[in-house]
A and B are shown apart, each in its own frame.
Chain A
Amino acid sequence: MFEDIVETVREPLIALDSDLRVRSANRSFYDLFKVRPEETIGNLIYDLGNRQWDIPGLRTLLEDILPQNNKFDDYEVEHTFSGVGHKIMLLNARRIIHKEIGAQMILLAIEDITDRKRAERLLEANEAKYQELVQNVNSIILKMDTEGKVTFFNKFAQTFFDYTEKEILGSHVVGTIVPETESDGLDLDFMIKDIEANPEKYINNENENMRRNGKRVWVAWTNKSIRDGTGKVTAILSIGNDITERRRMETELKDYEERFRRLFETSKDGLLLIDKQTGDIVNVNPAIVEMLGYSSEEFIGKKPEDIGLLKEIKDFKDTIEELIQSGFINYENVFAETKQGQLISVDIHLVDRARFIQCNVRDITERLRTEASLKQSNADLVELNQDLESFIYSVSHDLRATLRTISAFIKILTKNYAERLDDQGRDYLTRVYTSSEKMNKLIEDLLYLSHISRQEPCRSQFNMSDKASSIIEGLHKVNPGRSVEVIIQKGLAAFADPGLTEVVLSNLLGNAWKFTSKRDNGRIEFGAFGQGSKTVYYIRDNGSGFDPQYATKMFLPFHRLHAGDEFEGTGIGLSIIKRIIRCHGGKVWAEGEVGKGATVYFTLG
């Protein structure tokens, strides 16, 4: 009876003794596992089929779980049998009492779920692959219902628009990823409704969309309507690609073309575009029409030499080859011939521009004329300057010669006739003589000024501090009684004309010496500091100073800030300094205040 039951069950079933030996098995079992009854019955289950059933999972089940529970259900075991291959099985077991023999038995039902499981796994794998594809493809994939509410939004879309799935699902596209109005005024709200109504109209379209932060992006969409069995549209599936960069480049290109066209049209240079293959002119601007006197139509299809350009070039094809190699060719100051046969001077620049050669023609007639006249003006100026210098020199020279005789005769008069004059007469003579000496100093300074104007500085390296010290020493010799505090910064070097620089230093230190003469605690300082790449030297005193409003005027010849009897001087010293410093490429300036001293700064180029 029991065996009959076992036999009739359709799925493989075996009955085991309590010591796990097979008591009986049904046909299905034998079929499935390709074993025969004689090698099965009475054997330990683990030993079946050359111990193929010695499955760890089964051991656990039979020896650990079953003794405690009396049954187990749908226990999945996976095993590779050497005879029948890989199997996935669902095991169900019951511990029962065999009434006929009065012994415990185990019924073990084995369901082969290998095929079903395989199909399931395949399906899962496919589903995962599909999910992965949809989620991670580098395109926006979204689904919305007919009201425009988002029902699917892939990962790429989430990243791209910066919305989490939770935030976007169920939201309306307008106001989230679709701005209510496109930048250029198209009403998207209407379009969304229209897509819902006529999806086919929008299979492919480009839209301006919006990121979460409001930033506009351009997306190329492919839209597909999803319909139910009755043909009613239930959803819209849209796949989009980011084309913001492409749109931007297109716009830029358009702008660039527009700018280029405007430049081309308005350029004062004549411009021609020449086909690189044929060497024919394909486009000209108004300036070249004006310059050469041909109409636009007359230019088109001609070679440059036909319209009077680059006639000296024998083979324009070679020129094109050269141009491709070098990118550009310049012809400076060449002739172009107008339609009327007039020759004009031009600069021609050929530039390789992909399919075309851009030919710039600049009329330089006016420039050449200006250059020539500038050159002439310059030469005139140099001549004038030389004339002026020699005039100053000759006048000073003659003045000095005359003055010399005046001064000499006064001296003779003083020497030989003094006793015949009274005191007042002798005083007058002294005054005339002093004046003539002063005038001589003035003329000598003027001569020197004229002389150094024609002199080029001959530079060498020398120690400025030493020079300043020896000048001060000289001044001390002239006025031994003067007590002046002199501070000279040590080791100041200069790369300049030593002779001329000495003139500058002795003038400036002489001035400082002179203008501190009326003070008890006179102080003169010579130093330098860096300013950018330049060294600024300065001479500072605490003397009588000057009114700051004359700071620039004082460098003009004969400009004296002090009355003649207050401080000696001709008023040319600072002009000499300015000339010397200017011929070194340097600058000189002064700061001061009445009664508070002065500082003169200078650089030596």
Chain B
Amino acid sequence: MDITTKQTVLIIDDDQNEVMLTKMVISEINPEIGMDVAFSGEAGLTLLRSGRPLPELILLDLKMRRLSGIDVLHHIRLDDRLKHLPVIIVTNSALESDKQKSIEAGADDYLHKAFDIERFSGDIKSLLERYLVKVGEN
């Protein structure tokens, strides 16, 4: 996977292990992709509103303490500066209702984390290919 300019993915998840796994998977797919991490919904929103360059993609966990993924998504979609950002809800939940809620709240995609890490890696890869700008497309 070739990416010309430095592109960044923001991971918002309150589980350190999950974050670590996701980071490992992404850097294995493409070590060039930059990654920012926020360990809570609030931290994620603060980071997005801090004036730093915006990420190209947000991987947002659904089930978090305090602000949930859906809450964070609402804030993003209501913020003129942020609302255009692609957001993928990445979760352990296989509930159809959770997927429904996420799409209604404005998620661009919904990923149920596969138990098998290799399948998970494959799923992440195809999402990155869909949402990050590839060589020659720029």
Contacts and interface: CB of A to CB of B under 8 A. Distances in A.
B17 interface: yes
Interface string B106-126: 000000010111101000000
B24 A412 contact: yes
A51 interface: no
B117 A401 contact: no
Interface residues of B, number: 15
B115 A407 contact: yes
B51 to A, nearest CB: 34
Interface string B81-102: 0000000000011110000000
B15 interface: yes
B113 A404 contact: yes
Contacts of A409: 17, 21
Contact of B117 (A393, A397, A412, A440): A412
A446 to B, nearest CB: 12
Given A408-B117, A408-B120, A412-B117, A397 B92 contact: yes
Contact of A405 (B18, B94, B95, B118): B18
Q: Size band of the A side of the interface? A: 10 to 19
Contact of A408 (B15, B21, B93, B95): B21
B120 A401 contact: no
B24 A404 contact: no
Contacts of B118: 411
* Residues of A contacting B: mostly: helix
Contact of B94 (A412, A437, A447): A447
Contacts of B21: 405, 408-409
Contacts of B113: 401, 404
Interface in B11-25: 15, 17-18, 21, 24
Contacts of A412: 24, 117
A172 B118 CA distance: 115
A405 B115 contact: no
A400 interface: yes
Given A400-B92, A412-B117, A440-B115, A405 B17 contact: yes
Contacts of B115: 400, 403-404, 407, 437, 440
B88 to A, nearest CB: 17
Interface string B37-57: 000000000000000000000
Contacts of B18: 401, 405
A45 B95 CA distance: 137
Contact of A404 (B92, B93, B95): B92
Contacts of B95: 393
Given A408-B117, A411-B117, A440-B115, A401 B92 contact: yes
Nearest to A403: B115
Nearest to B95: A393
Contacts of A404: 92, 113, 115
Contacts of B15: 401, 405
A408 B21 CA distance: 8
B54 to A, nearest CB: 29
A402 to B, nearest CB: 8
A403 B17 CA distance: 11
Contacts of B93: 397
A411 B95 CA distance: 26
Nearest to A404: B115
A492 to B, nearest CB: 31
Contacts of A407: 115-117
Contacts of A447: 94
Interface string A435-475: 00100100000010000000000000000000000000000
27 contacts: A393-B95, A397-B92, A397-B93, A400-B92, A400-B115, A401-B15, A401-B92, A401-B113, A403-B115, A404-B92, A404-B113, A405-B15, A405-B17, A405-B18, A405-B21, A407-B116, A407-B117, A408-B21, A408-B117, A408-B120, A409-B17, A411-B117, A411-B118, A412-B24, A437-B115, A440-B115, A447-B94
Interface of B: 15, 17-18, 21, 24, 92-95, 113, 115-118, 120
Sort A-B residue pairs by CB-CB distance and give the 4 closest, nearest first: A408-B117, A401-B92, A405-B17, A411-B117
Given A400-B115, A405-B21, A411-B117, 14 more contacts: A393-B95, A397-B92, A401-B15, A401-B92, A401-B113, A405-B17, A408-B21, A408-B117, A408-B120, A409-B17, A409-B21, A412-B24, A412-B117, A447-B94
